[in-house]
Chains A and B, each alone.
Chain A
Amino acid sequence: MTLAAAPPDRVSSPDVVAGLLARSVLLVTGKGGVGKSTVAVALARLAASRGKRVLLVELESVSHAGPLFKRPVGAQPVDVAPRLTAVCLQTADSLRHFALQQLKVPALVNLALRNRSVEHFFQAMPAIKPILFLYHLWCLESIHGPHGDARWDLIVCDLPTTGFAIGMYEIPRTLSTVFRLGPIAGYADGMQKLLGDPRRTGLVLVALPEEMPLVETIELHAAMQRRFGVEAAAVVVNGMFPELVAPADLAELRAALDRPGTPDAATTAPANSDAALAAWRWAAEVVASRRQRATEALPRLRAVVGDRVLALPFLFRRDLPLDAIDGLAARLGGQDGEPR
């Protein structure tokens, strides 16, 4: 009996991971707090380590990539590591980008956007954020270098919320309803082709092995299938609690802790024994219930997306610096990043 004697959970399926990295856009989404940003950065680092030129895209949030790479990440793409560029798109900048594409003349753009009520009008338009984001993403994906090759091999998007992801997939249909002709109808068509082509775009759902995030992940996957005919390219389960104590030992410990200390034992037991035993009961319950939830999560997700489930271990820390994320990336890539 040794600590964590069991092999680590099978964390990676090389074919699934290779399939992810072969696409040109990965959209990473999931319920809040499940570690979307961590997974997005891990995927970006893994792709870069395999020689791809990667763009990591965040959206109007407090940038996670900035503190991680220790340099400001804003509306202009900035190289943060070898073969890895990061950008944090802001609606106002995407609007300017869109206006410039339409009006061509910077002076006219300035004239149009200088007016505060114009700016407010656009910022207040329903669904403007997913529209401009998707437009901007579509433009980024189609940027080609002087030799006709794509500027980036892979664009990894850290999407804010599941609601945003659904809203974004809705956009091409919305736009083509309102704009049946003209430039925007053409863009809507291009965006639809990008989102609808599983060889170009992969949807990555991130989950935790806990009840509500699991239910929401399964519901989101069903909604994406039903509404848009989209299948998740992968589901990443974050924070798989490891087997800290072998199951048989844990069962034995819990059984013993459930038995009362006898009056006879009380005389010889160390002081404060009751409090100590209560504390051990707490520890045993936490270890057992979290491990149980982790092991139960995988079959439930596999029932929905088959073998496209990847798992990442729970790390016993509250900060996640870059080297810790690289450890996760290595695990995704099929290497056991940590010594047993």
Chain B
Amino acid sequence: MTYNALANVLDASRVLVLCGSGGVGKTTTSAALAVTAARRGRKVLVLTIDPAQRLLQALGLHGHGLAPNAPHEVLPKRAADLPADLAVTPGGSLHAMMLDAESGAIAMVERLLPDKALRSQVLGNRVYRAFLPALQASPDYIALELIASLAEAGHFDLVVLDTPPMHNALDFLHAGGTLSAFINERVLRWFAKVPQPGQKARLSLLSAGTSMAMAVLGKLFGHEALPDIAQFFASFQDVLPRLKERTQQTDRLLRSPATAFLVVTAPGETALREARHLHGVLRAHDMRVAGFIVNRVVQAPAVLRGEHDAATEALHHHLTHHGHGADRAHALAAALGAAARQLEFLASADEAHVAALEQLGGFGSLCTVVGQREQDIHTVAELAQLGGALLDGLRGHRTR
């Protein structure tokens, strides 16, 4: 039986996180791997946080007015779109979900605050409402909480997470702890002393230390805004233990052996530098990095690289055979030959980058390479084909 390290990751993980700098094909790769895992018989959910609806486009779900933050069935619903050789193993399924940070934040508050009165207090809070649109800049908050609740619900065997384009890998890894750092006992204690809207300050009850803290907070935020901020934090008082528990769950899940990270990258010095950085950060945080996926590699056929002259002769021969005069055939072959040399140059630079990543990953790390596609992906069948290419592109692929 053929052993494929990437297939093994798809078969054995409960959570698969794809990360990498922007523009390296994370979204498409996530969808392709999710389709492949579903075809192998798993119940898969793929979640994208990317504000552009590219994943849904690739899954053929774009522009149908689909609700965000809800799973939409892709397979077996669209299994008829797959050719027979890419059929889905019975039992396998794929759902896709698009995360919208703003409505996700509302849903999160609803999950956290079962009490209706308290909930409407938070949702109506001026501070909370003002920050909702701004959450678009940091959707990682919501994503991790959602992942944890999905993994917990157990409707899916595998959750594939396409991470947002991030300028700092730490943002995402820390997102679990971020919310509980923002809303923690200590912070609640500061604001607990601030009178809420409509209340009068009972200054006599304030200790000297608290008065000092109040003065600093007032200077930073302006005294006028403090009551609303205080109310926002006070609303979370009762759910703090739940919030902390949730955070710890998420954190445990990310570090557990059931979770695998794949670093997605593409050729180029900048992408390579960012992949190295990300790999180091993940390792330093005890995350299990399964390996690298290198997209958009220029893979010039070996014959152009090794036997350029013989290949040119073959082209010349073909052109004269099909009725071109010798001079014309020579000129055409020379023009295409010169263009191909430019592509060969890229191909050898890319090969060196892949080799560097393989070395960085070291023993037990997988590295799979796929070529630059000349056409964009539009269908589930094309995603399934790409998934196959990802399995086939595994370096050092061995059988046993």
Contact = CB atoms under 8 A, between A and B. Distances in A.
Interface of A: 1, 3, 31-34, 37, 59-62, 64, 67, 99, 102-103, 108, 112, 117, 120-121, 123-127, 129-130, 160-164, 166-168, 170-171, 173-175, 177-185, 208, 210-213, 215-216, 219, 244-246, 249-250, 252-253, 256-257, 259, 261-262, 265, 268-273, 275-280, 282-287, 289-290, 316-320
B318 A61 contact: no
A35 to B, nearest CB: 9
B224 A273 contact: no
Contact of A280 (B181, B311, B374): B311
Given A1-B331, A179-B221, A280-B315, A164 B167 contact: yes
Contact of B130 (A60, A178, A183, A216): A178
A33 to B, nearest CB: 2
Given A160-B167, A284-B336, A62 B274 contact: yes
Contacts of A182: 221-225
Interface string B14-41: 0000000111100000000000000000
27 contacts: A32-B22, A103-B216, A117-B186, A121-B181, A121-B182, A124-B178, A129-B138, A161-B165, A161-B166, A162-B52, A174-B133, A178-B126, A178-B130, A179-B221, A182-B225, A184-B221, A184-B222, A211-B376, A244-B338, A270-B314, A276-B311, A280-B314, A280-B315, A280-B340, A318-B267, A318-B268, A318-B269
Given A167-B137, A256-B319, A269-B321, 11 more contacts: A31-B165, A33-B23, A117-B184, A127-B138, A129-B138, A184-B225, A210-B376, A245-B339, A272-B314, A277-B318, A286-B374
B134 A270 contact: no
Most buried by A among B228, B317, B349: B317
B225 A273 contact: no
A285 B372 CA distance: 12
Interface of B: 21-24, 51-52, 54, 126-127, 129-131, 133-139, 141, 164-168, 178-179, 181-182, 184, 186-187, 216, 219-225, 228-229, 266-271, 273-274, 277, 298, 300-301, 303-304, 307, 310-311, 313-315, 317-319, 321-322, 324, 331-332, 335-336, 338-340, 342-343, 345-346, 349-350, 353, 372, 374-376
Given A32-B165, A174-B133, A276-B315, A319 B54 contact: no
Contact of B270 (A37, A103, A257, A275): A37
B23 A269 contact: no
Q: Which 3 A-B pairs have the closest CB atoms?
A: A32-B22, A33-B23, A182-B222
Contacts of A246: 335
A291 to B, nearest CB: 10
A166 B131 CA distance: 13
Contact of B224 (A37, A179, A250, A282): A179
A85 to B, nearest CB: 21
A213 B346 CA distance: 21
A177 B331 contact: no
A275 B225 contact: no
B331 to A, nearest CB: 6
Contacts, number: 261
Nearest to B229: A178
Contacts of B317: 265, 268-270, 273
A224 to B, nearest CB: 13
A179 B136 contact: no
A62 B273 CA distance: 8
B88 to A, nearest CB: 26
B155 to A, nearest CB: 28
Contacts of A174: 130-131, 133-134
Contacts of B324: 256
Given A31-B23, A161-B165, A127 B322 contact: no
B219 A167 contact: no
A170 B134 contact: yes
Given A102-B219, A164-B137, A184-B225, A273 B314 contact: yes
B167 A316 contact: no
A245 B179 CA distance: 56
A75 to B, nearest CB: 14
A242 B130 CA distance: 47
A61 B168 contact: yes
A187 B145 CA distance: 33
B22 A179 contact: no
A319 B272 CA distance: 10
Most buried by B among A181, A268, A279: A279
B100 to A, nearest CB: 12
A244 B346 CA distance: 15
Contacts of A275: 301, 303
Nearest to B189: A117
Contacts of A1: 331, 335
Contact of B339 (A64, A244, A276): A244
